[in-house]
Amino acid sequence: MAEDLTSSETLELPLNIGNDDSINDTVPLMQKLVAEVVGTYLMIFSGCAAVVVNLNNNNIVTLPGVATVWGLTVMVLAYTLGHISGAHFNPAVTLAHASTKRFPLKQIPMYIVAQVIGSTLATGSLRLIFRGANDHFTGTLPAGSNLQACIFEFIITFYLMFVISGIATDSRAIGELAGLAVGSTVLLNVLFAGPVTGASMNPARSLGPAIVHNHYKGLWIYIVSPIVGAVAGTWAYTYIRVTNKQRNGIL
């Protein structure tokens, strides 16, 4: 719960490692969907497991530890699956990429379903492993007002998607650092926003635990704000990026 470290700090994330405006059509759609299910499962399982272990062991993992787990998990999965599915693991990222025509509109529903399935299965696995008193709600809840949570989730998702758009979709950026940059952004966001909102940045991350625990309080915040923040973030970067017109020998 977000009131303290008992809440589930997230991740997310999401990542298109390909070159600017490229959509990898060489990988069969079914393989992409399986990659999204597996990647989202591993991300949610690792991050939420850190939260549960922390709660069951007198905060031994600590907030920085939980944040590190989320960030490192996003980083390694981005490098592992980015070339297959784009490593979105996040409906907000999928929708943001689609809004700038970096992702096919017809694949949006299937990607979102795959991401929610992965998150739900991961949360279900944790409930099977941790039973009774050791079973904790790993979803996201506002520690303060709904307005505060909305603003926080908008800003941190904007931040995340702005970084993704800059490092992972612009061919002039150092693409090899995409996973490191995005994972680091997730880590930073969880450090300061985790105690306030649970630092979701990802509708699937919040939906999975809500479905498994049948706990939907404040869920709309974690669906609306990340989507709006992600779309705003990618469009903000798109607006300020240098054009493709050559000026004085510099692109």
Q: Is residue 23 part of a domain?
A: no
pLDDT-based confidence at 177, cuts 50/70/90?
confident
- Average pLDDT over all residues of the chain: 88
Neighbouring C-beta atoms of residue 178, cutoff 10 Å: 25
Helix ranges (H only) for the chain are 29-56, 62-85, 91-99, 108-129, 146-168, 178-197, 203-213, 221-240
Q: Is residue 47 part of a domain?
A: yes
Separation CA 95–CA 187 (nearest Å): 22
Q: State pLDDT tens for residues 70-121.
A: 999 999 999 999 999 999 999 999 999 999 999 999 999 999 999 999 999 9
Q: State pLDDT tens for residues 125-148.
A: 999 999 888 899 999 999 999 999
Q: Is residue 188 part of a domain?
A: yes
pLDDT for 3 equals 38
pLDDT value at 213 more than 70: yes
Separation CA 153–CA 208 (nearest Å): 17
Cβ(205)–Cβ(15) under 8 Å? Answer: no
Q: Is residue 204 part of a domain?
A: yes
Which residues form the domain of 144? Answer: 29-240
Query: Up-side HSE of residue 50: CA atoms within 13 Å toward CB?
Result: 24
pLDDT for 21 equals 43
Q: State pLDDT tens for residues 20-45.
A: 444 556 899 999 999 999 999 999 99
Q: State pLDDT tens for residues 47-82.
A: 999 999 999 999 999 999 999 999 999 999 999 999
pLDDT for 35 equals 98
Number of compact structural domains in the chain: 1
CATH of the domain at 90: 1.20.1080.10
Separation CA 135–CA 80 (nearest Å): 30
Q: What single string gives the DSSP state of each residue in 116-172?
A: HHHHHHHHHHHHHHS-GGG----S---SS-HHHHHHHHHHHHHHHHHHHHHHHS-TT
Q: Is residue 10 part of a domain?
A: no
Residue the block writes with tokens 């490692």? 17
